[in-house]
Amino acid sequence: MAIRVGITGIGLVTPVGNDTASTWNALREGRSGVAPIEGFDASRHDVRIAAEVKGFDPLEYLDRKEVRRTDRFIQFALAATRQAVRDSGLDIATMPDDVAVILGSGSGGLRVMEDQFHVLFDRGPDRISPFFIPMMTLDMAAGYVSMAYGARGPNFATVSACATSAHAIGEAYETIRRGDARAAIAGGTEAAITPMTVAAFASMHALSRRNGDPEHASRPFDAKRDGFVIGEGAGIVILEDLELARARGAHVYAEVIGYAATADAHHITEPAPGGEGLARALRRALKKAELAPERVDYINAHGTSTLFNDRDETAAIKAVFGDHARTLAVSSTKSMTGHLMGAAGGLEIAATALALRDGVLPPTINYEHPDPACDLDYVPNSARQADIRVALSNSMGFGGHNAVVILSKPEG
């Protein structure tokens, strides 16, 4: 009999809240987390806005020595994991060999890397921190989490740009399904709002330049969108063998019923024409879930607020869902959180699970000017009550990475 997998815990650190409850309340209320950059002096930058995590104190989760020895992306991961583990009630100490940690980041410790470059050039190579490598490398969030909880199952980091944490959650799901673990800590973390990163994305003309109106800068599917808003944070979920979860009386937010990943093999930044790669991932995920397209009620879109992504994601949805594309709801929570890049999928899969639990569709805010190429129901500007039973989350990444995770209300 196939192993079924559920989400039993959620932990979030985001630009609109430093825990799950505050984040979900903000998404339901349509509040933007985009504001002028405060983490560094951005006065010389063409782009001076971002979706920063606000008021985060790592000392609530780590001691002072650990804070000095960890980059912000690791701190976010440890904070969100603590929330998720507490929420799930999973006692990892009783089953350490059966708990996987699959947790990715698109960029890793960029902040410490930039700081250490200054140390190298200003003070010399012998002043580089001995903790630089473990603070910087992408896998160390997964490593720290594993050590913090004694989780000795499969442990690795996924890296696929903005599809990173969707891949992490999908691969964790498959790890449990094939019997290599009974539970998993999965998701993503990112802390890439740094001078170099903002300048680099601005140089690519990928970022919105609405410096004077930051709350309206992220506007997925809107005809006047002019780029994404860089964000930061972490989205972590606890995945669990449903048999185990129900035996211990755990609350189950949603069941994971399908996952697929594909590559565009087309371009380093632009999606394949018509969203062809995402369309293949959608079809494959539906097939693996043994689900007719008409059964899907809601899509949490990748929806970055960039010209090509929003257009091609819309085309992919229409290609796969046909006439049903006109009746299902599609929204982008990036309109409120900005783009958490490697952590985006973790946050958005969590938001999809919460939408299923509460029967509430988070809105696409700042949707004011319809785009003829983007003509679906994007749940514009206000949340909506809806009796949804099946929902999915799309993720797409630079390099042509696509991932789709399908969730349903837990049954049976």
Query: Is 389:408 a contact under the CB 8 Å cutoff?
Result: yes
> What are the start-end ranges of the E strands in 249-304?
254-263, 298-300
Q: Which position among 162, 167, 374, 401 bears the catalytic label? A: 162
Residue 339 falls in the annotated catalytic set: yes
Residue 302 falls in the annotated catalytic set: yes
CB atoms within 10 A of CB 38: 11
Task: Look at strands 329-331 and 298-300 and give their pairing.
Answer: parallel
Q: State the Cα–Cα distance between residues 194 and 98, nearest whole angstrom.
A: 37
Query: Is 71:375 a contact under the CB 8 Å cutoff?
Result: no
Query: Is 184:172 a contact under the CB 8 Å cutoff?
Result: yes
Task: Look at strands 233-241 and 254-263 and give their pairing.
Answer: unpaired
Q: Which position among 216, 251, 267, 339 bears the catalytic label? A: 339
Adjacent-strand bridge partners of 384:
361
Distances, alpha carbon 355 to alpha carbons 27, 240, 250, 349, in Å: 10, 19, 19, 10
Q: State the Cα–Cα distance between residues 169 and 346, nearest whole angstrom.
A: 7
Q: Which position among 167, 302, 374, 401 bears the catalytic label? A: 302
Enter the tokens of residue 73. Answer: 């992306």
Q: Sign of the C-alpha dihedral, residues 12, 240, 389, 158?
A: positive
Enter the tokens of residue 239. Answer: 């995945």
Q: Sign of the C-alpha dihedral, residues 15, 73, 187, 86?
A: negative
Hey, is 224 helix, strand or coil?
Answer: coil
Task: Look at strands 99-104 and 183-190 and give their pairing.
Answer: parallel
Q: Catalogue the active-site residues.
A: 162, 302, 339
